[in-house]
Amino acid sequence: MTTNDAPRWFTSSHSNNGGNCVEVAVNLAASHGVIPVRDTKNPNGPVLNLPADAWSDFVTLAKNAQV
């Protein structure tokens, strides 16, 4: 993986910073077709590579959820 292919992690600005957050790296969607997701509290832990379309569906569901 080159420097350009390295995940650029970020946490949502909507996070309340309570420690139960995930980080995502959307910069790999176009080049690799995946969205890596990891636990903010464990940046060296496992990474879940979601297909870009699955991540998009998840975000749409989350935005439309009634809490």
The pLDDT value recorded for residue 15 is: 66
Q: For the chain, give every domain's residue range.
A: 3-64
- The SS3 call for residue 64 is helix
The pLDDT value recorded for residue 65 is: 84
- Per DSSP, the residues of 12-49 read -TT---SS--EEE-GGGHHHHSEEEEEETT-TTS--EE
The two structure tokens encoding residue 65:
């959820």
CB 28 within 8 A of CB 7: yes
pLDDT in single tens digits along all 67 residues of the chain = 555 789 999 987 766 666 678 899 999 999 999 999 999 889 999 999 999 999 999 989 988 986 6
* Measured distance CA(55)–CA(42) in Å, rounded: 20
The pLDDT value recorded for residue 19 is: 67
